[in-house]
Structure 1
Amino acid sequence: MNAEAPVEPGRIVLLTASHRVAPGLLSWPAWQTLRTADRVLCADAEHPQLPYLREAGVGVEVAAPTAQELVDGCAGGRTAVVLATGEGDRALTDGLARMAGSGRVRMPDLELLPGSYDLPGTRLLDLVQVMDRIRRECPWSSQQTHKGLAKYGIEEAYELVEAIEDGDRDELREELGDVLLQVVFHARIAQEASGEEGDEPFSIDDVAGTIVDKLVHRHPHVFGDARAETPEDVKEHWLRTKAIEKRRESVTDGVPLGQPGLALAAKLAGRVRTAGLDVELPTEDGDRAVGYELLAMAVRAEAEGHDPEAALRAAARAYRDAIRAAESAARH
């Protein structure tokens, strides 16, 4: 008498999908697996993928089977697809792991199938969502205004520059995040503008859309027919398109006067040099003469290709280190 053939244990597929990708946008292997599966199960009746699966003719059972029930249901070579919930299916996966580790159960083939992947930049969606909730629920954040946050933008920008100068990659990543937070925070506040006083509300999407349009327009050598072989060619394109956009009456228009003095002097000198203007440097006797001397030094540094503000910061950091060394020597 022939022994009975062993029952095929089947296949269990845990299908995951990124919540940062629009529901229904699944990979072709995911759709093939869903269409050919004997059972498709999901523990969450409100799962965002369910309407799209049903529209595509994929029947979904809203159920949360135990590991044993799922294994038993696959007997005979059947395939069961479990659509993972947003919180994960820890009880199910832990149960399957225990059964597989026991060595006493002939387990179905277990497969993890990503149905969609995060695209570059999709974590920004998480930041927008987190900022939206903080703005609604945090007593401090909900009261902030553009003017109230302005000082933090300046502080974070300086801390970013310091991280760059220190060469600290971990610090750089953190400070870039802090600067990015300022952008998202201001955009979230701007979203609430009432329009009663002429303030049109705008969102982070409007901010991103504006800079995308600007970048495309100012890079005709990338997105158009213009040619640029050198960095100087690129700068020429940039300045020409920027001049057309802004229609400024003076080369000094658009130069923020609130920036540090050396940086301001260098920026003005660069505008003058680019425009080909012959402007004599002002001078003055008396107590304010030192300011004009610094101006002359900044203009000379800019003409020689140096950033006077960065150079002074580097010198100041060296001075700080010398001070600390002197303090340490005095203590010993």
Structure 2
Amino acid sequence: MNEIETTDGPAVEPDGNGPGRAVLLTTSHRVAPGLLSWPAWQALHGADEVVCADATHPQLPYLREAGIDVKQAAPTAEELVRACAGGRTVLVVATAEGDRRLTDGLARLAGSGRVPMPDLELLPGSYDLPGARLLDLVQVMDRIRVECPWSSRQTHQGLAKYAIEEAYELVEAIEATGNNGNNGNAGTAEDGASDELREELGDVLLQVVFHARIAEEAEDGTAFSVDDVAAGIVDKLVHRHPHVFGEDTASTPEEVKEHWLRTKAQEKQRTSVTEGVPLGQPALALTAKLASRVRTAGLDVPLPTGDGIGYDLLAMAVRAEAEGTDPEAALRAAARAYRDAVREAEAPGA
């Protein structure tokens, strides 16, 4: 058998029964090692030779357990072509980052026309599942928490203000996305707004992962991880969507909301509709939330009266909520218009 050599040399005319076949097997490091596709296992068992340059590749223990003889080698393109001579199949287990040196070399050889090339095949052995990049975020956060002088000293309390800031920036990005139709250059504006929305969602996600990472370090028996956070919200979503995961039915958004409120009430066992309403949120949003709870519960609650702008704003916010308008968003839109008017007044020659 022609095995891959470890010395460099010029490409030579291969002998034997054809130029053979070279398979580059790629795997995702975000999938549990050993979980390979059936075509990948077939190619591994059918290859005349299997090589891998990385002695620490996470797939190697599982390949050897399956009876695959994997040689540690980093062949050049010329060496790989020679090893395939005589109709042999050589499979290269690629690293997570791929092997740019090898693939570029094969492309160069193929373009030169100097030697008959083996059949070249790129075979994905495993694929990233949706959400797989979240694993990268968790790993990066773990390392930053340990090695970064700033991040390693942060606490829930110290980070709280950033969560608020990022939430507001996300809301601003969402509203900017919805206002693109007012821009004459809508296509470019939409692209920019979409990029901003994606970035702000990432910043909010970072806050979640950061706080979960800090929570892992608790030594008073209250520790939890980001997996516990995800498990909790999964359980909540499943329980509050019996029309999706159970035997209940819902054909309208109103019926869905009724399911949600009913199951939530059963979970929380609250004695007042005001429980769970954060008082630290902006005043208009707070008023709208309270008014929504009152309206949904069918309560007849007269508005408190008194002197001052506060009570006038309270009445206006309750009326807006009843009419289906978010008073906080409406005031922000008006404030943006006011800002634009200020800028126009400031412009030279105004």
Supply the distance in 2 between the matched residues of 1:242 and 1:148 (Cα, whole angstroms): 31
Q: Secondary structure of 1:250's match?
A: coil
Measure how far apart 1:277 and its partner are.
1.0
Identity %: 79
Per-residue CA deviation, residues 66-95 of structure 1 (Å, 9 max, x unaligned), is 222221111110000000023432332232
| 1:172 matched to 2:193 | no
SS in 1 for 2:91: strand
**Could you list the runs of 5+ residues in structure 1 that have no partner in the other structure?**
none
Contact 2:26 2:98 in 1 (8 A): no
From 190, 208, 216, the equivalent of 1:191 is 216
Q: Give the distance between the partners of 1:268 and 1:98, measured in 2 at CA.
A: 69
Structure 1 match to 2:78: 68
Give the counterpart letter for 2:242 in structure 1: P
- Counterpart of 1:327 in structure 2 is 346
Partner of 2:275 in structure 1?
A: 253
How many residues are paired up?
321
Aligned partner (choices 4, 8, 31) of residue 18 of structure 2: 8
Superposition map of 1:14-93 within 5 A: 14-93=24-103
Whether 1:298 and 2:298 are equivalent positions in the alignment is no
What letter is aligned with 1:123?
R
* Counterpart in the other structure of 1:203: 225
> Residue 314 of structure 1 corresponds to which residue in structure 2?
333
SS at match of 1:284: coil
Distance 2:349 2:252 in 1: 54
Letter in 1 for 2:163: G
- 1:61 Cα deviation from its structure 2 partner: 1.0
1:231 is aligned, of 237, 250, 253, to 253
Instruction: Indicate the RMSD between aligned Cα atoms, in angstroms.
Output: 1.2
The DSSP-based 3-state class of the residue aligned with 1:279 is coil
Helix, strand or coil at the partner of 1:305: coil
Distance (whole Å) between structure 1 residues aligned to residue 275 and residue 30 of structure 2: 42
Q: SS of 2:50's equivalent?
A: strand
> What is the Cα deviation at residue 314 of structure 1?
0.6
Where structure 2 has 5 or more consecutive residues not aligned to the other structure, the ranges are: 1-14, 178-192
| Aligned-pair CA distance for 1:326 | 1.3
Partner of 2:162: 152
The normalised TM-score by structure 1 is: 0.94
